[in-house]
Amino acid sequence: MRLRPFVLLLATSALLTAMEPAPKAVNPAYMNRAASPCKDFYAFACGAYDAVPIPGDYSSYGVNEEITERNSAVLKEILEDCVGFRRPVPNSPQQRIGDFFASGMDEGTLKRLGLEPLKADLARIEALRSPQDLAPLLAHLHRKGVSAVFSNGVGVDDKDATRMTFFLFQGGLGLPEREFYFRPDAESQRIREAYQKLLARLLHLSGEKTLEAARHAKEVMALETKLAQASRTLEQLRDPERNYNAMDRPVLAKTWPRLGWQAYFKALKLPEGQRHLVVGQPDFFKALEQRLAQESLATWRTYLKAHLLLSAAPYLDAPFEMASFEFYQKTLGGQEKPQPRWKRVLASVDEGLGFDLGQLFVAKAFSPQSKARVEEMVRFHKEAIRLSIQKATWMGEATKVQALKKLETLGYKVGYPTQWRDYRGLAIHRNTYLGNVFAAHAFEYQRRLNQLLKPVDKGEWSMTPQTNNAYYEPTRNEIVLPAGILQPPFFVPEADEAENYGALASTIGHELMHGFDDQGCQYDGEGNLKNWWTEADKKTYEALTDEVVKQYDAYEPLPGLFIHGRQTLGENLADIGGLKISFEAYRLALAGKALPDQLGLTADQRFFVAFAQGWRTNQRPETLRTRLGSDVHSPVRWRVIGPARYLEEFATAFKCPTEKKKQLW
């Protein structure tokens, strides 16, 4: 997946309107031609952009924010049109969208209701008086989308891609990632203290006295720290084989009996016939068994109450919402003030009714001609990968046969689904914002449960069409490129091959190469977690990737804080391989045609500058620090510097000294 920063505006102008020309992939105003492209290509391609200030309501500011901002303007128009419908058809997309958005924008009702939308759930938690009541209570909260104790979900079975299965994973933490609970430095300690203050603030707002809330916050922090201690690190979670632990449902209940798994599954409405489960991290659930034995019911009540409040706070009245903002956006991200309310509510509607919105979005923002052009680009990329595999000197013939077989079956979806998701049966009302959020979560949860014991839906999308992102799904062996990311300057229908292929290198090339990174290469062409490498080729590949780890381990984005090369390896491999494959695809698309020099750059140089400017972003140090500790992606600047340094084609284009590096693909 190509992770993108959050949305924001251009520094010096208002939102681009439909009447303005589409922004181009190469803007010379962002370049610093005094910088050496060979020493710091990001500085050369984007150095002038460093001076652009970050608005107070953003933690990051750059090209992705501009795209998402324009997408949001289209969606805002759709939302307001739906709100204004006098008599929408009941249970139609317009009714659901309009009522959901209106409920979130009605601050007067939110203030009047206060904590009322949570009273029933808070009372249910307070009524927890025996261990036997915990399982159905936890299932009730999970169906609503409350993150507590552990995580679960429905997905394609990694070792049998023809079926869906039910997964259990570690979870239950309020901080971004395990290591946030244990890093000894002063800044990490400050973050832990701020998180504990957030817990105390929410508990106090829920009615607890100040000292009681502080004591309870300390208890929650202590319990979460124990759960974190039993959790795997981000690097460990990158091992799909280790995270696949099949277990029969009765065996699970017998192995860790204290939760009462049968009661949990019954309350969750997991189909009785779904006996096969996958436990991601058995050590976590072993430790959870100990916690259930040793922690008091009073502690579990406090913990569940705190996590209910954490999940609900952004959708309650201002004191709750601001308490959440102060920690998650300001402390962790450096954001100075919240975004406008309509954007915050839009995000909720998008999460709950994303494909209702998507139908209306693509009609305005993505043409059939654009879809066809991008599909052609994907085909050229696949051909470039095929040629690269055939030319690879380090890979034996037996492995090449399997790699080409996987490439042949690797599918792609562009723009939007052929069949839209059906939300009929999801009741949305204008007077209950949090109720709508919980209802949408429960509806989606049940939709996923309904997929169990049925064939895999090959047409399903895991992102909405308006999303400014993309992904590779290993169990389906496919990439998905939503219309929301296929927007200027990443994709401009009128632009030439140098700019379009360069700007989309980190999307098309990147996602395709995830099928062959250190994780994706463990899945075969049918989407099964199954080795298809010879032992010798596997060792050679691992030696090559070890060099990439060392390269990124040496990068120091903040004083004393380095990129974790092993944690970010998969994304770094996709960045490097994606850029190389996109350059080859660009050459194939030209079919020998020469493109003219423009802006003082050759066509090949424009390709690479378009790639680099696709990452131009300014980030607050708080955001950068948080992502270094919680993200499997390298920071944006090094997503340009790292791949450029690796490619001989880049060195040739800019006449740089060539570093002799063995090519992966």
pLDDT at 20: 58
pLDDT tens profile 392-419: 999 999 999 999 999 999 999 999 999 9
pLDDT at 661: 66
pLDDT at 662: 66
The rounded percent of the chain whose pLDDT value lies above 90 is 94
Contact (Cβ atoms closer than 8 angstroms) between residue 292 and residue 131: yes
Kind of pairing between the strands at 478-482 and 411-415 = parallel
* Nearest to 174, CA basis, from 231, 126, 249, 237: 231
pLDDT at 13: 30
pLDDT at 88: 84
pLDDT at 16: 35
Q: At residue 8, does pLDDT exceed 70?
A: no
* Nearest to 386, CA basis, from 661, 591, 585: 585
Give just the sign of the alpha carbon dihedral 484, 489, 494, 498: negative
pLDDT at 664: 72
Binning pLDDT at 50, 70 and 90, where does residue 649 land?
very high
Query: Coil, strand, or helix at residue 148?
Result: strand
Strand partners, 160: 157
Least confident of 377-381, 476-480, 525-529, 659-663: 659-663
Q: At residue 354, does pLDDT exceed 70?
A: yes
Strand partners, 119: none
Q: Which residue has the higher pLDDT, 222 or 14?
A: 222
Residue showing tokens 């209701």: 113
Q: At residue 133, does pLDDT exceed 60?
A: yes
Encode 72-88 in three state secondary structure.
HHHHHHHHHHHHHCCCC
Based on DSSP, count helices (H) and strands (E) in the chain, helices before strands: 26, 9
Least confident of 9-18, 449-458, 527-536: 9-18
Q: At residue 70, does pLDDT exceed 60?
A: yes
pLDDT tens profile 259-284: 999 999 999 999 999 999 999 999 99
Q: State the average pLDDT over residues 144-173.
A: 98
pLDDT tens profile 216-232: 999 999 999 999 999 99
Q: At residue 550, does pLDDT exceed 90?
A: yes
Contact (Cβ atoms closer than 8 angstroms) between residue 412 and residue 459: no
Q: At residue 356, does pLDDT exceed 50?
A: yes
Domains present along the chain, CATH in parentheses:
35-64+385-417+472-654 (3.40.390.10), 72-114+316-365+420-460 (1.10.1380.10), 117-297 (1.10.1380.10)
User: How close are the terminal C-alpha atoms of the chain, in Å?
Assistant: 19
- According to DSSP, residue 94 is labeled H
| Average pLDDT, rounded, for the chain | 95
Q: How far apart are CA 60 and CA 7, in angstroms?
A: 8
pLDDT at 9: 28
Give me the half-sphere count of Cα atoms (radius 13 Å) on the Cβ side of residue 516. Answer: 27
Q: How far apart are CA 429 and CA 95, in angstroms?
A: 9
Sheet holding 276-279, edge to edge: 150-157, 160-170, 276-279, 246-248
Q: What are phi and psi of 561, to 5 degrees?
A: -115, 120
Q: How far apart are CA 549 and CA 591, in angstroms?
A: 35
User: For the packed helices 569-590 and 535-553, what is the interaxial angle rounded to 10 degrees?
Assistant: 100
Q: State the average pLDDT over residues 657-662.
A: 74
pLDDT tens profile 505-543: 999 999 999 999 999 999 999 999 999 999 999 999 999
Contact (Cβ atoms closer than 8 angstroms) between residue 627 and residue 638: no
pLDDT at 201: 98
Binning pLDDT at 50, 70 and 90, where does residue 659 land?
confident
The rounded percent of the chain whose pLDDT value lies above 70 is 96
Strand partners, 411: 478
Contact (Cβ atoms closer than 8 angstroms) between residue 480 and residue 473: yes
pLDDT tens profile 116-132: 999 999 999 999 999 99
pLDDT at 86: 76
User: Does 489 sit behind a cis peptide bond, omega within 30 degrees of 0 on the bond before it?
Assistant: yes
Q: How far apart are CA 316 and CA 253, in angstroms?
A: 37
Q: How far apart are CA 547 and CA 203, in angstroms?
A: 49
Q: State the average pLDDT over residues 573-589.
A: 98
* The pair of three-digit structure tokens given for residue 83, joined into one six-digit string: 């709100």
pLDDT tens profile 465-484: 999 999 999 999 999 999 99
Measured CA angle at 444 (ends 441, 448), to 5 deg: 135
Strand partners, 561: 558
Specify the DSSP element, H or E, that contains 161: strand 160-170
Q: Within 10 A of 545 (CB to CB), how many other CB atoms are there?
A: 20
At 226, the amino acid letter reads K
pLDDT tens profile 78-114: 999 999 987 788 989 999 999 999 999 999 999 999 9
Helix intervals (H) in 461-568: 497-503, 510-513, 535-553
Binning pLDDT at 50, 70 and 90, where does residue 658 land?
confident
Q: At residue 14, does pLDDT exceed 50?
A: no
